[in-house]
Amino acid sequence: MNKIGVLTSGGDSPGMNAAIRAVVRCGIEAGLEVWGIERGYEGLLDGELRQMDRSSVGDILHRGGTILKTARSERFMEARWIDKAAEMLATFGIGGLVVIGGDGSLRGGLELAQRGIRVMGLPGTIDNDLHYTDFTIGFDTAVSTVLEAISKIRDTSSSHDRTTVIEVMGRRCGDIALYAALAGGAESVLVPEMPEDINMVCRKIIEGSNRGKLHSIIIKAEGTGTPATELTRLIEERTGKETRLVVLSYLQRGGSPTLNDRMLATLCAAKAVELLAEEGQEAESKAIGIVDGHIMAYELGAALEVKRAFRRELYELINVLSK
Ligand code: F6P
């Protein structure tokens, strides 16, 4: 193989640029031509490919977002368009592809792998919802952003003796909420993996207030049952305490990646290129991630079937620490 492609797909995440940079520079070092594909699978279908050189990825390591742009491709859901994407790669003579994205993006990569492309999947999503890896690229930065917001909200909440509900991203995975609540000292956390108990949330607010607590912070993952505005209203009604809602939304997806995200992105990308460049390697597609501090590569299809257990002990610890 002497030509590889790289694309970013789905929701962007801080660290994607660090990954692109390492794919390009490690690829060139290994004697490969590296082609950047714009706007994920959408751009691939539209033939938006350009050859990358070392300087094309200069000054991006520290930037959030993705210089290759990204998209959620509706067309790529259909077999005939996936066939077309595989043909497009063949037309450009690209036999190996690095896909940086979340679960849906890596599943798209698996489809291409089944059509003869050698795919290396890198976990690029703030959600931390790819279970074969302990952490995904962008998660650490997103949680750090939430922590910064919690500190600021805490200041004004105590001045006004208020409760604040902070909604964070995570439709099916509550990890952003869970880690931010634990590290940010929230009173309660609502995650999709656990049953919602609004009465318990209210009870904790009242007990805290009776002990002299000046404010309460409730972290809610976007994917939990009661919508945030309704939850906020119910809490105010049941506790009698002024309650405000802050939806952090896309703030969590931007910003300069943290050390952890830069390291994870760079090391996963280097591993992907190492595997693509290996001579005589069985043409297996892989998902790359970090497990117990080590960069690991697993067979792509099998990796996407892995189910990691919800970290209930962290959830319980939040309740103990906020009593
Ligand atoms: O998958 C990443 C993510 O940021 C989710 O946390 C969020 O629910 C979703 O993307 C938002 O997607 P969009 O960018 O399409 O609004």
Residue 302 CB burial class (10 angstroms; 0-12, 13-18, ≥19): exposed
- CATH architecture label of 141-253: 3-Layer(aba) Sandwich (3.40)
Question: Where in the chain are all domains bearing CATH 3.40.50.460?
Answer: 141-253
Question: Where in the chain are all domains bearing CATH 3.40.50.450?
Answer: 3-138+257-304
253 CA closest ligand 1 atom index: 4
Res. 280 pLDDT band, cuts 50 70 90: low
Res. 302 pLDDT band, cuts 50 70 90: very high
The size of the chain, in residues, is 323
Please give the DSSP secondary-structure letter assigned to residue 256.
P
Identify the bridge partners of residue 134 per DSSP, sorted by sequence position.
none
pLDDT at 282: 60
Task: Kindly list the catalytic residues.
Answer: 127
Rounded average pLDDT over 282-304: 94
Write the residue with the smallest CA distance to atom 9 of ligand 1. Answer: 11
CB 285 within 8 A of CB 300: yes
Residue from 66, 129, 141, 171 whose mutation best tests the ligand 1 pocket (most atoms within 8 A of CB): 171
Return the SS3 of 51: strand
129 CA closest ligand 1 atom index: 1
pLDDT in tens, 136-159: 999 999 999 999 999 999 999 999
Average pLDDT value for the chain = 96
250 CA closest ligand 1 atom index: 4
Rounded average pLDDT over 240-246: 97
Would you say residue 113 has pLDDT above 60? Answer: yes
Residue 187 CB burial class (10 angstroms; 0-12, 13-18, ≥19): buried
Write the residue with the smallest CA distance to atom 15 of ligand 1. Answer: 11
Would you say residue 181 has pLDDT above 60? Answer: yes
Res. 323 pLDDT band, cuts 50 70 90: confident
Rounded average pLDDT over 121-142: 98
Q: Cα(205) to centroid of ligand 1, in Å?
A: 30
Q: What is the pTM of this model?
A: 0.97
Would you tell me the crossing angle of helices 259-277 and 16-29 to the nearest 10 degrees?
30
Question: Distance from first CA to last CA of the chain, Å, rounded?
Answer: 59
Site residues for ligand 1, CB cut-off 6 Å: 10-11, 72, 102, 125-127, 169-171, 222, 253
Would you say residue 281 has pLDDT above 70? Answer: no
- CATH architecture label of 3-138+257-304: 3-Layer(aba) Sandwich (3.40)
